[in-house]
Amino acid sequence: MKRVYCLYRVSTQGQVDHNDIPMQRIACRAYAEEQGWTILREVYEKGVSGYKVGVENRDAIQELKEEALLDRYDILLVFMFDRLGRREDETPFVVEWFVKHNVEVWSVKEGQQRFDTHVDKLMNYIRYWQASGESEKTAIRVRTRQHQIVKDGFFRGGRYPYGYKLEYMGRLNKKNQPVHDLVINTTEAETVRLIFDLIGEYHYSTRHVATYLNSHSIPTRRETGLWQASTINIIVRNTIYIGRQHIGNEISEPFENYRIVEDTVFYKANRFISEHANAPEHKNSFHLRTLERYLLNDLLYCGDCGFRMYGTTTYKKPHYSREVYRCGTNYRQDADCNGQRIYTASRVEETVEGRVKVVLDCLLHLPATDLVGLLDGQVHSDYEQQISSLKSVCDLFRNEVDSIENKLIQAIQINAPDEVATLNDSLIRFKKEYAEKERELRELIINEENDKQSIEQAYKDIMDIRSGAANYDLLDIREKKRLLRLIVEKVTIRRGYEITIQYRYPARKYFDDETVRG
């Protein structure tokens, strides 16, 4: 009596029917009964790709190998051999391993896989080489269709982002079933605009934005949940809010029916988030509640320990209080600061504002063309040359891959196994290098687009600086804070009110970092 183990596999959970894989199960049971075999066990792999997942990471294959070593079955039966895997550099050797360990490998559709002759080994390789190609073709078809859906401006499915909702707009799929399209949710869209405004204009951190939304009772989509910094970060990074859907590293052309914020607003918020996350002084910092009445929150740092100062109110006696900036090390047990811990807020702010007004007056009286000209010189880039060079390299690799594939087919046809093995190794290596160069090209194109957006935003910032400089004393605290962050990079304070101001472009072109006494 032949002892049989069956392996059933599908690549996605969507192919699982009520926790079962009935088509493969029914076919294998019928085939075993026809052959007079006894099925002892049925092993399921639900939602496991035979192309993407290697054998060492497939528990079912490893378990079947262990059972084979214990001589617990004689035949491994599958519906088709590609259920064992679809990787030409791996699966043929898995099949050969089972046969060498006295386990016959059978397929309902293709019969028994033997290794009696050299031709058997070659056919075994060809079978999985074809299966690998089919997986690649299927992946290409799926990706192409998804790209077409995104290119046409339609929602490609999945969880729809905050700020939108799904509505039936009269569109049907190829099976004549109704398809829901993405439309803007006006209530949630207002919250999205508020998030971008708080980050881009007032330089709130994502955690601070979440605190602000929760404190103002602005509901999440679930209504019962609370806003989290991670959720805010996902929203800020999503290009759908400027009408651009993304799939992988590729971004679609803008569709105005999806747009909630302008490009300049989107890229300004993203630039602040990136700069804030990458700044060295923020790496070991911690979240502090930002109060709007303090002008220098997020700009002022302790000159002794380097930690951020934060605005707060101290109470020394009943009915007496004063607003101060306090060193953040007070709340860190592992921090050591020998500098002054508290500075009077009004004294620090008046000193900084006095110097900032001088800078603003200078920028106001400079011709706008001078500022723009300096900016053009600063952001000059050779992206065009780099992109052209990388495209040429990608073309060379693609031609080489096509050439090796043609040679491989010829080698298989003339039954030259040594040449097949050599060409297959070369093909794998060149495909990997080709994919790496394509990734570099995509990243370079994205960086070029980001830099273009940064230049456009910088032009707008210059105009905002000139406008704010002319009306500084009439601005409210929020507008002053926004204006300061356009020209001041960082303010450091040391014992005795020794204040160092570091400027950013365009003030940096005319003013060196300066130290003043408050």
Side-chain half-sphere CA neighbours of 389 within 13 A: 7
CATH of the domain at 102: 3.40.50.1390
pLDDT given for residue 275 in this prediction: 76
Is 288 found in the same domain as 266?
no
Select from 85, 87, 76, 69 the least CA-distant residue to 132: 87
State how many domains the chain has: 3
C-alpha distance from residue 265 to each of 193, 194, 376, 511 (Å): 9, 11, 21, 28
133 part of a folded domain: yes
Tell me the per-residue pLDDT of 190-227, one tens digit each, with 9 for 90 and over: 999 999 998 988 788 888 888 888 888 898 988 778 89
Which pLDDT score, from 0 to 100, does residue 35 have?
A: 92
Same domain, 215 and 72: no
**CA–CA dist 263, 239 (Å, integer):** 9
**Tokens matching residue 41:** 């066990």
pLDDT at 49: 80
Range of the domain at 119: 3-149
Q: Are 38 and 70 in contact (CB under 8 A)?
A: no
In a domain, 392, yes or no: yes
Q: Which residues of the chain have pLDDT under 50?
A: 280-291, 333, 374-380
Cα(322)–Cα(345) distance, rounded to whole angstroms? 8
Structure tokens at 491: 């303010």
Q: Is the dihedral of CA 192, 193, 198, 200 positive or negative?
A: positive
Residues 403 and 296 in one domain: yes
Give helix 206-215 / helix 186-200 axis angle, nearest 10°.
130
CA distance 294 to 296: 6
Helix (H, G, I), strand (E, B), or coil: what is residue 17? strand
User: Is 259 inside a domain boundary?
Assistant: yes
For residue 24, is it within any domain?
Answer: yes
**349 lies in the same domain as 486:** yes
Both 139 and 10 in a single domain? yes
Cβ pair 68, 101 in contact under 8 A: yes
467/461 Cα distance (integer angstroms): 10
d(CA 67, CA 393): 49
Query: What is the structure's pLDDT at 375?
Result: 47
| Three-state DSSP class for residue 269 | helix
Contact 336/316 with Cβ under 8 angstroms? no
How is residue 122 written in tokens?
């070659």
For residue 99, is it within any domain? yes
501 in any annotated domain: yes
Shared domain check, 377 and 290 = yes
Which of 114, 149, 184 is the last residue before a domain boundary?
149
The enclosing domain of 198 has a CATH number of 3.90.1750.20
One domain, residues 232 and 371: no
Task: Indicate the residue among 107, 126, 149 that finishes a domain.
Answer: 149
Q: 80, 114, 149 — which closes off a domain?
A: 149
Dist CA 351 CA 488 (whole Å): 14
- Residues 309 and 252 occupy one common structural domain: no
- With residue 385 as reference, give the H or E element that holds it: helix 383-413
pLDDT at res. 74: 94
| pLDDT on residue 368 | 59
Q: Going by DSSP bridges, is the β-strand pair 250-251/498-503 parallel, antiparallel, or unpaired? A: unpaired
Residue 508 lies in a domain: yes
CA-to-CA distance for 214 and 227, rounded, in angstroms?
Answer: 6
- pLDDT of 374 reads 46
Say whether both 273 and 289 belong to one domain.
no
Supply the pTM of this predicted model: 0.39
Euclidean distance between CA atoms 436 and 103, whole angstroms:
40
Give the torsion through C-alpha atoms of 77, 78, 83, 85, to 10 deg.
20
Q: Give pLDDT, residue 145.
A: 58
The reply to whether 289 and 324 lie within a common domain is yes
The pLDDT assigned to 162 comes to 92
Cβ atoms of residues 390 and 430 within 8 Å: no
Same domain? For 376 and 464 the reply is yes
Question: What is the Cα gyration radius of the chain?
Answer: 32
Claim to verify: residue 225 and residue 333 sit in the same structural domain: no
Distance CA 502, CA 518 (A): 16
Q: What does the pLDDT read at residue 318?
A: 58
**Cβ atoms of 32 and 41 closer than 8 Å:** no
Q: How many CA atoms lie within 13 A of 438 on its CB side?
A: 13
- Strand, coil or helix: 77: strand
Residue 154: inside a domain, yes or no?
no
